[in-house]
Structures are given as C-alpha cells and as structure tokens.
Amino acid sequence: MSSNPLSIDGKVIIVTGGGKGIGRVYCQEFAKAGAKVVAADIDHDANEDTVAAIRGAGGEAITATTDVSDDEKTVEMARKAVEAFGRIDGLVNNASLMSVLERRDWKEIPNDEWDRVMDVNLRGIFSCCKAVFPQMKAQGGGKIVNISSGRFWNGTPNRLHYSTSKAGVIGLTRSLAREVGIDNINVNAITPGFTLSDTQISSSGEYAKNNAPPSDRCIQRHQYPEDLAGAVMFLLSQGSDFISGQTLNVDGGQFMH
Ligand SMILES: NC(=O)c1ccc[n+]([C@@H]2O[C@H](COP(=O)([O-])OP(=O)(O)OC[C@H]3O[C@@H](n4cnc5c(N)ncnc54)[C@H](O)[C@@H]3O)[C@@H](O)[C@H]2O)c1
C-alpha cells in the first residue's frame, strides 16, 4: 500500500463505458496515476482507442468489451480483469444510456426505451457488482463507485427514464453498501453536473457549447470530465476507506445537500 492515502498507484480498476466520453477520461486519468485499467465499454473500437491512448502514454490497460445489461458478459469482464492483473480493486459503474436518448416529453417515451434504460443504467450496475463481488470478497475488500447524476437533486425534466434510473443508482448504492460492508467493500456514488464530455457535446450540440454555465454554480465555468476524475479517484483510494453509502455531488457547487 502506498504511503500516500490518496494514491491509486497499482490498483486494478474496471471502468464500464470506458471507451468514450467521461469514461475514457476516467481510464486515462487513472492510468496516469499508476492504476491498471480495464476499459469495459459496449463499443469494442472505442475500448481499443482508450487502451491504445493509455499504452501510448506508458500506462497499463486492457479492453474487456462488455454489455453491462448481459450477466454473462459482466462475468466475462471480471474474469478478464483477474486474468490480466490478478485482482479487482475498483469498479466504476459509469456505462449508461444518456447521450443517445432524445430529450422529450415524458408521455412520449416508448415503454421499450424505458425498459432498455433501466436494463443498462440500473440492472447493469447490479450485474457488474455481482460479477466483481466474489473476487473483491476473496481478496479482502474493494471499492465500487456508481455514477449517478445531478438530475437526482434537480429533478431535471425531459429524460424521465434516465432521471429515474439515476435516482435508483442512489438507492442501490445505499442498500448495497450496507450489505457488503462486512466484506470490506465500500460502495459510493457521485452526482456529476452538466459535463461537456465529447458524447454530451455531440448529443446536445450548440446548447452544450454556447450556453453559459448555470448561474447558481459557485464555480462559474463549464464542467469537464477532468473535474470528475479526482472525486472518483478519492473514492477508489485508501483515503475513503471509512466512507460508504454516500453520494458526493461534483458540480461546481450548484446543488448543496
Ligand atoms: N455528461 C454529463 O453531463 C453527465 C451528467 C451527469 C451524469 N453523467 C453520467 O456520467 C456517465 C458518463 O457520461 P458521458 O457524458 O460520458 O456520456 P454517455 O452516457 O453517452 O457515455 C456512456 C458510455 O457508456 C457506453 N455504454 C452504453 N451502453 C452500454 C452498455 N450496455 N454496456 C457498456 N457500455 C455501454 C457508451 O458506449 C458510452 O461510451 C454516465 O453514467 C452519465 O449518465 C453524465
């Protein structure tokens, strides 16, 4: 264990949705900090790009192409991580259906789209947690960080299924934290504010780029993926060993709780 309690040097960390957007930045920032990264996006080419960028910069990473809504694939993801690096210290449940979702009135959301969002954003986290649990328990502990959303605080309209799934992430985080604390596994969540990831920019277009940051944000500027990485790294580090079941809001101080 490093003498720096905030270090993630040498830790093996799986990032679901690690191929694009904020997930890719998590992978790259973790690798820069010395972690061994498993990029587990559904998009294989995107995983390859993430891993190539990390290796090109001298870091360690592998791809584990995974559909988090498929139990068998998540078990395979955990197996690949252990096969490559011998353990799993952290799981960042970042994969989601967000930028691909149309913003629309709640009554216009088709039931099958609602179900798919729940399958990926909520059951996908359940499935990934189940997949890494045996290894984390066997090795004496681990850290799970779930990515929720500032929509949980704000009740932002027009993607009702997405907001509902992200609120569910908080419930899952709290109850699972109580169930796995005995195994020395910490489970926490973060709620990012509106973040200018490449996927967000491509789906929100001019709105994302041209709108001023929210006027009630303490830190008056746009939020970028790099603004989230430090908070997640803290929750993966030894420094957060006595923190579990919590939700850390990372939005420049827009919402306070
Ligand atoms: N960007 C924001 O403003 C913002 C704000 C709050 C929360 N978040 C959350 O942060 C996370 C990252 O967001 P983002 O902006 O990078 O955009 P995003 O939600 O578009 O990226 C999600 C990633 O998940 C992958 N993915 C989709 N379905 C998958 C599946 N079934 N299995 C595995 N991977 C799958 C995608 O390929 C993509 O790379 C998401 O959980 C999102 O909900 C983002």
Averaged pLDDT score across all residues of the chain: 96
Model confidence pTM above 0.85: yes
Q: Which atom of ligand 1 is nearest to the CA of 68?
A: 32
pLDDT band at 19; cut points 50, 70, 90 = very high
Could you tell me if the CB of 69 is within 6 A of ligand 1?
yes
What pLDDT, on the 0 to 100 scale, is given for residue 2?
Answer: 62
pLDDT over 80 at 156, yes or no = yes
Q: Which of 26, 162, 207, 224 is catalytic?
A: 162
Q: Per residue in 70-92, pLDDT tens?
A: 999 999 999 999 999 999 999 99
Q: What is the CATH number of domain 12-250?
A: 3.40.50.720
In the chain, how many H helices and how many E strands?
9, 7
When pLDDT is averaged across residues 60-74 and rounded to a whole number, the result is: 98
Residue in the structure block whose two tokens are 């990390």? 54
Q: Per-domain residue ranges for the chain?
A: 12-250
pLDDT over 70 at 220, yes or no = yes
Could you tell me if the CB of 21 is within 6 A of ligand 1?
yes
Could you tell me if the CB of 29 is within 6 A of ligand 1?
no
Give the residue whose CA is nearest to atom 30 of ligand 1.
67
| DSSP string for residues in 7-65 | --TT-EEEEETTTSHHHHHHHHHHHHTT-EEEEE-S-HHHHHHHHHHHHHTT-EEEE--
Q: Which atom of ligand 1 is nearest to the CA of 120?
A: 31
Active site residue 162: yes
